[in-house]
A and B are shown apart, each in its own frame.
Chain A
Amino acid sequence: MLQSKVYTALMAKKTLLNAKDIHIILHRLACQLIENHNDFNNTVLIGLQPRGIFLANRLTEILQNDYKISNIKLGQLDITFYRDDFRRREEPLAASNTSIDFIVEDKNVVIIDDVLFSGRSVRSALTAIQSFGRPESIELLVLIDRRFSRHLPIQPNYKGRQVDAINSEKVKVSWLENDKKDAVYLLSNN
């Protein structure tokens, strides 16, 4: 956390999305989900730890409060033990909580994360979700899709905004409940 703060301070910061943009995008994503999943009877939402859960919680609130969908099943999935870079990183990773108190067998699963970059987290999530059963289908929803940076053939079904950024740049999503402000920043070295 401290390290990322120092990192952030040294970098140039450009706002890609402000709170109003994010508000509009979240409502659009919610409507797109409703279009495909109707009353969510056979659908479950899974937010990826650690940062995807904010987006998942927000979307759930919008679906419940603004679109009156009452039976949303929301879970949180931690993928630490499924990562493909175990023992290959300099810094060890700390795991977060997984809480999925429903069976995903034969359900339509929507995996939710804030930024899609290399696709490796999503790959890990695809493996991890199988520990909870065999879903009917799995879709991916992201707020930011970083194009041209994929290491794996993984694409989102729903995306908030597509961003073209070079590898040395960093896209940071800030959430009101965690970072005091809704915004998306592009951080670059210069």
Chain B
Amino acid sequence: MKALSTDHLLGIKYLKKEDINLIFETADHFKEVINRPIKKVPSLRDITIANLFFENSTRTKLSFELAEKRLSADIINFSAGQSSVKKGETLIDTVNNILSMKVDIVVMRHPNVGAGVFLSKHVNARIINAGDGAHEHPTQALLDSYSIREKLGSVKGKKIVIIGDILHSRVALSNIFALQLQGAKVKICGPTTLIPKFITSLGVEVETNLKKALEWCDVANVLRVQHERMDIKYFPSIREYTQLFGIDKALLDSLGKKIVIMHPGPINRGVEITSDVADSDQSIILNQVENGVAIRMAVIYLLAQQIKK
């Protein structure tokens, strides 16, 4: 297979296993490209991409921008804060206005679940979901799996525990879909208030004891507590959260095996993970960031390939 089975990247749940394999194989080539003295290829020089961020983002936006520039695409950036959205314009109007400037691909982050799917039905462009509410963040899940594959050889059969604020996390949901599609076993660990009720219907197990979860796993993907999405208190204090669900070096060393530590960022050092764990040789956090550019180049390249002249 040399082409994706889908016209857009709206979520991992719309992908097949072969799509993920193709994205990874293509990302391997782009990873080699971004380690060259000149890290740029001319493939997408006649493609224009709009990055629409209706919600704050630093690393995802930078990573997408860099990926697009490395592919020689023309890009325009848009942040909701400075736009007509504030003046009452609808999403379709905003996007159609941008598309009339001849844009081929839209990368969108939006606070509402399903915004990407909605847009893909109403506008004539390829849509890449860069995060929609607490729903999906497909490129993050792809780069996480890609980083596991790089570190451990494959994802199949590996045991991965996702720790922290699952309730507000699009990274968790996309990761569950991606890991299961590739044959990994997934557990969820966190305070019961931050674990959605129906998560077990996805076929994942819930473990509320951090030590047990870490002893079981090969890889721990640690998530941040998303205070900005919490309108009520989900746990008594940050100090208590850290005591029960924070990972420190002593805990890591007590496991009797070397597990891989991942974090999608931004890290709250000293809360969900201590500095000596984040910076240890078991951590692949910075590899995840590097792989993010290669994965996003692969996704954009493969979607652009399907746009006919």
User: Which residues of A pack against B, CB within 8 Å?
Assistant: 78, 80-83, 86-88, 91-99, 103, 127-128, 130-133
Q: Is the interface of B mostly helix, strand, loop or mixed?
A: loop
Report chain A residues within 8 Å CB of B29: 78, 80-81, 95-98
Q: In the complex the two chains form, is B43's CB within 8 Å of A81's CB?
A: yes
Given A91-B2, A95-B26, A131 contacting B40 (CB threshold 8 A): yes
Closest to B28 in A: A97
Stretch from B112-120, B153-161, B301-309 at the A interface? B301-309
Given A91-B2, A98-B32, A133 contacting B42 (CB threshold 8 A): no
**B69 CB → nearest A CB, Å:** 14
B197 lies within 8 A of chain A by Cβ: no
Tell me the complex Cα distance, A69–B137, Å. 54
Tell me the complex Cα distance, A75–B71, Å. 23
Report chain B residues within 8 Å CB of A83: 43
Report chain B residues within 8 Å CB of A130: 38
Closest to A127 in B: B42
Q: In the complex the two chains form, is A87's CB within 8 Å of B304's CB?
A: yes
Tell me the complex Cα distance, A108–B39, Å. 22
Tell me the complex Cα distance, A91–B42, Å. 19
Closest to A128 in B: B41
Report chain B residues within 8 Å CB of A91: 2
Q: Is the interface of A mostly helix, strand, loop or mixed?
A: loop
Jot down 7 A-B pairs with beta carbons below 8 A, ordered by A: A80-B29, A81-B41, A95-B26, A103-B37, A131-B39, A132-B37, A133-B37
User: Which residues of B pack against A, CB within 8 Å?
Assistant: 2-3, 25-26, 29, 32-33, 36-44, 46, 71, 301, 304-309
Q: In the complex the two chains form, is B309's CB within 8 Å of A82's CB?
A: no
**B43 CB → nearest A CB, Å:** 5
Tell me the complex Cα distance, A83–B305, Å. 12
**A107 CB → nearest B CB, Å:** 13
Report chain A residues within 8 Å CB of B32: 97-99
Report chain A residues within 8 Å CB of B304: 86-87
Tell me the complex Cα distance, A78–B309, Å. 24
Q: In the complex the two chains form, is B309's CB within 8 Å of A88's CB?
A: yes
Q: In the complex the two chains form, is B37's CB within 8 Å of A87's CB?
A: no
Q: In the complex the two chains form, is B2's CB within 8 Å of A94's CB?
A: yes
Report chain A residues within 8 Å CB of B39: 131
Tell me the complex Cα distance, A95–B2, Å. 9
Q: In the complex the two chains form, is B40's CB within 8 Å of A87's CB?
A: no
Which of B25, B37, B39, B71 has the most A CB atoms < 10 Å from its CB? Answer: B37
Cβ 8 A contact of A132, one of B3, B36, B306: B36
Tell me the complex Cα distance, A84–B201, Å. 48
Report chain B residues within 8 Å CB of A87: 46, 304-305, 307-309
Cβ 8 A contact of A86, one of B2, B36, B43: B43
Closest to B70 in A: A81
